[in-house]
């Protein structure tokens, strides 16, 4: 049952094939039985989920149900959930219970969706492999020796393994798109400001954006309908009309202009990944699109600029975790300075400490102009590159990552190699534009995603393209087996 898409489950609930309580119980039982293999969940909210499911069943019976009513999903453990532990996968917040709900969470609950639990992630969303979690690494359902991607790796693994039909994620530099690519999912990072950040534990405030992770573009559009919209509680939320993201899914792609940046196809790109991407582009071209060569000349600067800006903002955001107000506190501090130092040394993991130190250095007196200010100027150059390119084409396409999912532990001792995995995704966050990943093939049994980037607030166009591509391919219908080889939903009888 859990291999069904969100849309399929919604139709089954409306037809009375089963109740929300029944599918919620089945999903929770399945997570308990199988997730020890993947480690994709940090916590389950069984009692609360069943209460939400009963309320959804009442709405279904009364005929007041929304399309999401009764459909189970999972939250990345960065979204505050009222009365439920929210950890950000850190020892620092291992016992933190928020007194309020995130705006995204509240909107999904208002639509009648049922939250079954919180998924694993890189600590404070800092990572590209989901290996920095205090609760242990997550394994990729396609190959248990591979990473699922990060930082939303738990959400990706949970959906890919068929534990839940959909999950939330956050994307600061590719943390929805990269795990979606590695786990054969559809994931979208909306325009910055499209989805409220209220109640989402901050990593880098000018870059963070929440989005859905699902099997199909149609599912992602439905989730985004519920998640998006202006929020007066978030000062970075944009007062922009929110369209129905499902309305244009079936529009033809005739006349679509696709920009192909030469910088995406350099020596660092795995040749087999490049072949998957080019095959996908040929299929989209066959739907009536036109491929146009373009250039994003400052793309190579996105990694050094990002890894100044993001750690600087993280240094500021994480200063609140000091052992005084909430979160972890060291035992028997000798004085206030000892409290601060030992609490942060004991509460944060290695990658978080590394980024705090980099950011603090970049913001320090004498270095602010040389590093942070210069990085912000480079950010503007990157934004201008996209503005010029998107004045010539409708969307930009290319790979999500230079390789398929890499082996667990293979980059853990080389932070720079880990950072290079984000080379194709960081620029969209720096510019604030929407971008997504859709399944586009396999390399040695490991999935590859096609990245689609668009102009500001063009999420509906991206979802339309992905949906049309998914109508002529079946990559998104492949699900992993215990041997890590793809099998279709039809073959599995889902």
pLDDT one-digit tens code per residue, 94-130: 999 999 999 999 999 999 999 999 999 999 999 999 9
Alpha helix locations (H) across 103-204?
103-110, 153-160, 177-182
Q: What is the reported pLDDT for 493?
A: 45
Active site residue 413: no
pLDDT of residue 411: 85
Catalytic residue at 175? yes
Q: Give the model's pLDDT for residue 480.
A: 94
Question: Two tokens at 286?
Answer: 């066959």
Q: Given this model, what pLDDT does residue 2 score? A: 60
| pLDDT number for residue 426 | 96
pLDDT at residue 489 in the model: 55
Angle at 195 between CA 376 and CA 247, to 5 degrees: 125
User: Which entry of 40, 45, 76, 139 is annotated as an active-site residue?
Assistant: 76
Provide the phi-psi class of 118: left if phi over 0, else alpha when psi is between -120 and 50, else beta. Answer: beta
Helix (H) or strand (E) holding 448: strand 446-454
**Three state DSSP letters for 213-239:** EECCHHHHHHHHHHHECCCCCCCCCCC
Rounded to two decimals, the pTM is 0.95
* Residue 319 designated active-site: no
Using the structure block, give the residue that is written with the tokens 């979208």.
Answer: 188
Query: Which pLDDT does position 492 carry in this prediction?
Result: 47
Element of type H or E holding 23:
helix 20-38
Instruction: State whether residue 306 is helix, strand or coil.
Output: helix
Q: What is the pLDDT of residue 417?
A: 84
Residue 418 has what pLDDT?
87
Determine which one of 128, 152, 175, 437 is catalytic: 175
Three-class SS of residue 416? helix
* Segments of the chain with pLDDT less than 70: 1-2, 482-494
Indicate the helix (H) or strand (E) that contains 43.
strand 41-44
Put residue 284 in one of left, alpha, beta given phi > 0 → left and psi -120 to 50 → alpha: alpha
> In Å, what is the CA distance from 262 to each residue of 141, 259, 331, 385, 480?
32, 9, 55, 13, 33
- Of the candidates 10, 90, 133, 151, the residue annotated as catalytic is 151
Reported residue count of the chain is: 494
Cβ-based burial of 494 (10 A; exposed 0-12, middle 13-18, buried ≥19): middle
pLDDT at 481: 82
Give all domains of the chain, ordered by start, each with its CATH number. 6-254+438-492 (3.90.1300.10)
pLDDT in tens, 237-265: 999 999 999 999 999 999 999 999 999 99
Query: Which pLDDT belongs to residue 490?
Result: 52
Cβ contact 204:317 at 8 Å: yes
């Amino acid at each position: 049952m859990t291999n069904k898409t969100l849309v399929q489950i919604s139709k089954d609930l409306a037809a009375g094939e089963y109740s929300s309580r029944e599918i919620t119980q089945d999903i929770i039982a399945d997570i308990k039985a199988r997730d020890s293999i993947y480690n994709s969940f940090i916590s389950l909210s069984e009692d609360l989920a069943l209460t939400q499911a009963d309320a959804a069943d009442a709405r279904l019976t009364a005929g007041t149900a929304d399309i999401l009513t009764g459909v189970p999903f999972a939250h990345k453990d960065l979204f505050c959930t009222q009365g439920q532990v929210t950890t950000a996968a850190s020892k620092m917040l291992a016992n933190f219970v928020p007194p309020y709900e995130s705006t995204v969470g509240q909107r999904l609950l208002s639509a009648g969706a049922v939250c079954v639990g919180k998924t694993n992630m890189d600590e404070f969303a800092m990572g590209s492999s989901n290996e920095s979690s205090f609760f242990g690494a997550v394994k990729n359902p396609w190959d248990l020796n591979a990473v699922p991607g990060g930082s939303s790796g738990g959400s990706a693994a949970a959906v890919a393994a068929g534990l839940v039909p959909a999950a939330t994620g956050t994307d600061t530099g590719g943390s929805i798109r990269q795990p979606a690519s590695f786990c054969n999912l559809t994931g979208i990072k909306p325009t910055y400001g499209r989805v409220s950040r209220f109640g989402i534990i901050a990593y880098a405030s000018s870059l963070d954006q929440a989005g859905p992770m699902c099997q199909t573009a149609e599912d992602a559009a439905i989730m985004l309908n519920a998640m998006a919209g202006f929020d007066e509680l978030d000062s970075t939320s944009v007062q922009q009309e929110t369209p129905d993201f499902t309305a244009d899914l079936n529009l033809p792609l005739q006349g679509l202009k696709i920009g192909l940046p030469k910088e995406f196809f350099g020596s660092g790109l795995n040749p087999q990944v490049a072949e998957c991407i080019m095959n996908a582009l040929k299929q989209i071209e066959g739907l009536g699109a036109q491929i146009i060569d373009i250039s994003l000349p400052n793309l190579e600067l996105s990694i050094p600029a990002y890894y100044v800006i993001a750690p600087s903002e993280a240094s500021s955001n994480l200063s609140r975790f000091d052992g005084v107000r909430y979160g972890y506190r060291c035992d028997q501090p000798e004085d206030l300075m000892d409290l601060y130092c030992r609490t942060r040394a004991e509460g944060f993991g290695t990658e978080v400490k590394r980024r705090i130190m980099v950011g603090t250095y970049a913001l320090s007196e004498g270095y602010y102009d040389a590093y942070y200010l210069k990085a912000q100027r480079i950010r503007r150059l990157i934004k201008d590159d996209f503005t010029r390119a998107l004045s010539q084409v409708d969307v930009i396409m290319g790979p999500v990552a230079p390789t398929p999912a890499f082996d667990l532990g293979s980059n853990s001792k080389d932070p720079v190699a880990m950072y290079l995995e984000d080379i194709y995704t960081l620029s969209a966050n720096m510019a604030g534009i929407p971008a997504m990943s859709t399944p586009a093939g396999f390399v040695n049994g490991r999935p590859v995603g096609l990245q689609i980037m668009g102009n500001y607030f063009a999420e509906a166009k991206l979802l339309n393209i992905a949906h049309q591509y998914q109508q002529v391919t079946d990559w998104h219908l492949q699900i992993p087996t215990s041997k890590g080889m793809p099998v279709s939903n039809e073959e599995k009888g889902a």
